[in-house]
Amino acid sequence: MNQEKPHIAVQNLTMAFGTFVVQRDLTFTINRGDIFIIMGGSGCGKSTLLRHMVGLQIPAQGRVLYEGRSFWDAGPEEQEGLKRHFGILYQSGALWSSMTLAENVSLPLEEYTDLTRDQIRELVSLKLSLVGLAGFEEYYPSEISGGMKKRAGLARAMALDPDILFFDEPSAGLDPISAHLLDELILELRDSLGATVVIVTHELASIFAIGNNSVFLDTETKRMIAAGDPKKLLAGSQDPKIRNFLTRGEANGKNEYRISNDK
Amino acid sequence: MSFSRETDDTMLVRLAGNWKIGSCLPSLSKLAKEIKPGAGIKCITFDTKGLTGWDSVLLTYLIKIIDQCTQSKIQAEKEGLPQGVQRLLALAYAVPERIGARREYVRTPFLEHTGQAALDFWRSTLEMLDFIGDAFTAFIRLLLGKAQFRRSEFFLIIQECGARAFPIVSLISVLVGLIFAFVGAIQLKMFGAQIYVADLVGIAMVRVMGAVMTGIIMAGRTGAAFAAQLGTMQVNEEIDALKTMGISPMEFLVLPRMLALMLMMPLLCLYADLMGILGGLLVAVSMLDVNIMEYYVETRSAVTLTYLWIGLFHSVVFGVLVALAGCLRGIQCGRSASAVGEAATSAVVTGIVSIVVATGIITFLCEVLGI
């Protein structure tokens, strides 16, 4: 363990909707500069975990600590202060549909800074050009493609140069090239902003390409069954569930469920 | 299909012909009787040489046989089946049914149902009160100059629920005025008191009906639109995005809508009053031989300023109610397309019910206060 405080620490987190428990006793830490992957099969509560971490859902039990400060024990003012350092890219982009891309990106800037209108406009153009959308300032979200929406969402997420970037399935619905470019962009952002990145994904290519820390949530036991560098998990884990997941089900030798085309 | 015992403990099932959706299938009951436990069969085999075509129908049929076999501990030899069928069967049995995944239909007893409904009602009442409280504090923050929303959006909403509502408000109010005049005219004519149609229409429209009619129109038109807008934003995670950015959806989304309706409703109501009186005038002039001037003078003497204020007060209250109902249902919306539809429906119902209830309360209060 290194000496510095972990950037994010999740302690004994139990997530539940009413009496239905999604996951229990999640404990893991994320260091500054990590690219942390939350993985697991569909329906295991990956996105729900993300929602707990960014303050959208109250945990049934346990704590989420940011540099030692517990998010859910903090007062509303302190929570706002913590949220200011988050940048979140939602699964569908979640751009505000009644505003243009420029307005979408500028809203957090107007909210949290005292910049002049011109300064904001320059910043907005910069952020949009960083994600390859220069010139699209005056477009509405309904006028651009799905991949562009994701990138515009990213521009909005990094409007305030956040400390922590959260991504909910960033490459879902993108073609392989765009997905790869997005991965590059995430790495680039981590290196240049020094941000910590938390990604919910089950895209194996991305997991191995960019992740250096991870947690694996299991649907059946409703617990995390592994944590650590995904590459090491692939090399060292003996758990068949994890091996299966990380090798697309080919770890157990044969794949008997596959339907072959030979007649 | 036919079947026969090959040896003492083996049954051969012959499948022939076309086994496709829409073709006539033989009944399973005879075979089922044969493979009951205790029939002495240990193994069942298939022969499909005569099979000319098959699709999922054959599969469901075979699955029924195999399930029956498993129950009676008979082995089903699948070798005789076509390759494709074998593979699909293997696929169907590959992942065993997850225990507890299948939902049983449980009949809830009447009392449990009632209790659940009461609890739901209580919860939704609490949610509503919570929402109204939040809206109120947001309003106070606005008065203190702390609340924030985008001016441009506010003006768009004003345009949408103000100017764009003119045509339908005109139509409905003229017709309501007309109907009042007709109904009144039939009675008043008997006494030769046609001129009092002006009083009837004027007082009714200005005091309450103008406001109620615009309220109902706005509940159907704007309340539903608010619910659908906010509901879709909820589905798209746009509201989550606002929250995590530290922007209160209450101030940013609900407040401008509430304010817009509060400002526009009295104006629309005034306009509706005028249109209703015009509708009455039409009937009076064309059917009752009342002079336009006469009608005007009679209306002026009947309708006092107090009535007008009461009408406008109604309309402000309705504006708040319609906006709150629409926004509440929109924010409560679930995360699916059908939930947006339900939110819009429920916004209209809530809006209209609250308008009628509010009218009752205000009328009663006016009675008590003697105005």
High-pLDDT (> 70) share of chain B, %? 98
Q: Name the phi and psi angles at A215, rounded to 5.
A: -135, 140
Report helix, strand or coil for A197.
strand
- HSE-CB at A27 with a 13 A cutoff on CA atoms is 4
Going from the C-alpha of B119 to that of each of A107, B224, B272, the distances in angstroms are: 40, 26, 41
> Do residues B221 and B348 lie in contact, with contact meaning Cβ atoms separated by under 8 Å?
no
Distance of CA B260 to the CA centre of its chain: 24
Nearest to B313 by CA among B370, B351, B361: B361
Sign of CA dihedral B228, B229, B233, B239: negative
Q: Which residues of A touch B94 (CB under 8 A)?
A: 256-257
Q: Which residues of A touch B237 (CB under 8 A)?
A: 90-92, 94
Q: Which of A107, A109, A198, A218 to mutate to test the interface with B (most CBs of B within 10 A)?
A: A107
Q: Which residues of A touch B241 (CB under 8 A)?
A: 88, 90, 94-96, 156
Q: Tell me whether B90 touches chain A (CB under 8 Å).
A: yes
A55–B237 C-beta distance less than 8 A: no
Nearest to B311 by CA among B273, B355, B262: B273
Q: Which of B83, B157, B240, B340 to mutate to test the interface with A (most CBs of A within 10 A)?
A: B240
Q: Name the phi and psi angles at B155, rounded to 5.
A: -70, -35
Going from the C-alpha of B124 to that of each of A16, B120, B235, B352, the distances in angstroms are: 20, 6, 20, 18
* Two structure tokens written together for A234: 């692939």
User: Measured between alpha carbons, how far is A156 from A104 in angstroms, rounded to an integer?
Assistant: 7
Residue of A nearest to B237 (CA): A94
Q: How many residues does chain A have?
A: 263
Say which of A86, A92, A256 has its CB closest to residue B244: A86
Q: What is the pLDDT of residue B295?
A: 93
State the nearest Cα–Cα gap between A95 and chain B, in angstroms. Answer: 6
Cα distance between the two ends of chain B:
87
Q: What is the DSSP string of A19-82?
A: TEEEEEEEEEEE-TT-EEEEEESTTSSHHHHHHHHTTSS--SEEEEEETTEETTTS-HHHHHHH
Q: What is the pLDDT of residue B266?
A: 95
Q: Tell me whether B245 touches chain A (CB under 8 Å).
A: yes
Beta bridge partners of B11: B5, B44
Task: Considering only the C-alpha atoms of chain B, give the largest distance between any 2 of them, rounded to a whole number of Å.
Answer: 109
A83–B240 C-beta distance less than 8 A: no
Q: Which residues of B touch A80 (CB under 8 A)?
A: 246
Mean pLDDT of B253-266: 94
Report helix, strand or coil for A229.
coil
The amino acid at B181: A
The DSSP H or E segment spanning B283 is helix B255-287
**pLDDT (tens digit, 9 = 90+) per residue, B104-135?**
777 888 999 999 999 999 999 999 999 999 99
Rounded-to-5 percentages of helix, strand, coil across chain A: 35, 20, 40
Residue of B nearest to A158 (CA): B245
Residue of B nearest to A153 (CA): B241
Beta bridge partners of A217: A40, A224
Q: Tell me whether B119 touches chain A (CB under 8 Å).
A: no
Quickly tell me which residue has 């220069």 as its tokens: A134
Q: Which of A8-12, A93-97, B18-22, B213-217 has the lowest average pLDDT?
A: B18-22
Residue of A nearest to B242 (CA): A96
Strand intervals (E) in chain B = 2-7, 10-14, 17-19, 43-47, 51-54, 75-77
Report helix, strand or coil for B18.
strand
Residue B97: is it exposed, middle or buried by C-beta count within 10 angstroms (0-12/13-18/19+)?
exposed
Q: What is the DSSP string of B66-121?
A: HHHHHHTT-EEE-TTS-HHHHHHHHHHHHSPPPTTTSPP--PPPHHHHHHHHHHHH
Number of Cβ pairs closer than 8 Å across A and B?
57
Q: How many residues does chain B have?
A: 371
The amino acid at B298: E
User: Measured between alpha carbons, how far is B237 from A97 in angstroms, rounded to an integer?
Assistant: 11
pTM of the model: 0.79
The long-range contacts involving A220-229, CB below 8 angstroms and separated by at least 24 positions, are A222/A21, A222/A22, A222/A23, A222/A24, A223/A23, A223/A24, A223/A25, A223/A26, A224/A23, A224/A25, A224/A26, A224/A27, A224/A28, A227/A28
Q: What is the DSSP string of A138-181?
A: T--GGGS-HHHHHHHHHHHHTTT--SEEEEESTTTT--HHHHHH
CB neighbour list of residue A221: distance below 8 Å, 6 or more residues apart:
none
CB neighbour list of residue B155: distance below 8 Å, 6 or more residues apart:
none
* Two structure tokens written together for B57: 């129908």
For chain B, give the mean pLDDT. 89
Quickly tell me which residue has 């290519």 as its tokens: A205
Q: Which of B245, B253, B257 to mutate to test the interface with A (most CBs of A within 10 A)?
A: B245
B243–A96 C-beta distance less than 8 A: no
User: Measured between alpha carbons, how far is B54 from B34 in angstroms, rounded to an integer?
Assistant: 24
Mean pLDDT comparison of A43-57, B17-31, B95-109, B294-308, highest-scoring range: B294-308
Sign of CA dihedral B340, B344, B347, B349: negative
Cα angle vertex A89, ends B251, A128, to 5°? 90
Q: What is the pLDDT of residue A262?
A: 39
User: Measured between alpha carbons, how far is B141 from B148 in angstroms, rounded to an integer?
Assistant: 9
A94–B247 C-beta distance less than 8 A: no
Quickly tell me which residue has 């009392």 as its tokens: B111
Q: Tell me whether B236 touches chain A (CB under 8 Å).
A: yes
Q: Tell me whether A85 touches chain B (CB under 8 Å).
A: no
> Do residues A65 and A9 lie in contact, with contact meaning Cβ atoms separated by under 8 Å?
yes
Q: What is the pLDDT of residue B85?
A: 87
Segment-wise mean pLDDT, segments of 10 residues, chain A, 263 residues: 72 87 89 89 86 89 88 87 88 87 90 87 90 88 87 88 89 81 85 88 86 88 86 84 82 46 38
User: Measured between alpha carbons, how far is B30 from A84 in angstroms, rounded to an integer?
Assistant: 72
CB neighbour list of residue B100: distance below 8 Å, 6 or more residues apart:
none
A97–B233 C-beta distance less than 8 A: yes
Q: Tell me whether B101 touches chain A (CB under 8 Å).
A: no
Q: Tell me whether A54 touches chain B (CB under 8 Å).
A: yes
Say which of A88, A96, A259 has its CB closest to residue B244: A88
Say which of A83, A257, A260 has its CB closest to residue B244: A83
Q: Tell me whether B243 touches chain A (CB under 8 Å).
A: yes
Q: Using pLDDT thresholds of 50, 70 and 90, give the confidence band for residue B93.
A: confident
A94–B241 C-beta distance less than 8 A: yes
Q: Which residues of A touch B91 (CB under 8 A)?
A: 257, 259
User: Measured between alpha carbons, how far is B320 from A121 in angstroms, rounded to an integer?
Assistant: 36
**DSSP secondary-structure letter at A253?**
S
Top-confidence residue, B324 or B97: B324
The DSSP H or E segment spanning A238 is none
Q: Which of B90-99, B286-295, B350-359 has the lowest average pLDDT?
A: B90-99
Q: Using pLDDT thresholds of 50, 70 and 90, give the confidence band for residue B282.
A: very high
The DSSP H or E segment spanning B226 is helix B224-235
> Do residues B131 and B227 lie in contact, with contact meaning Cβ atoms separated by under 8 Å?
no
Residue A128: is it exposed, middle or buried by C-beta count within 10 angstroms (0-12/13-18/19+)?
buried
Q: Using pLDDT thresholds of 50, 70 and 90, give the confidence band for residue B325.
A: very high
Q: Which of B95, B148, B237, B335 to mutate to test the interface with A (most CBs of A within 10 A)?
A: B237
**pLDDT (tens digit, 9 = 90+) per residue, B162-178?**
889 999 999 999 999 99
**pLDDT (tens digit, 9 = 90+) per residue, B43-86?**
888 888 888 888 888 888 888 888 888 888 888 888 888 888 88
Q: Using pLDDT thresholds of 50, 70 and 90, give the confidence band for residue B353.
A: very high
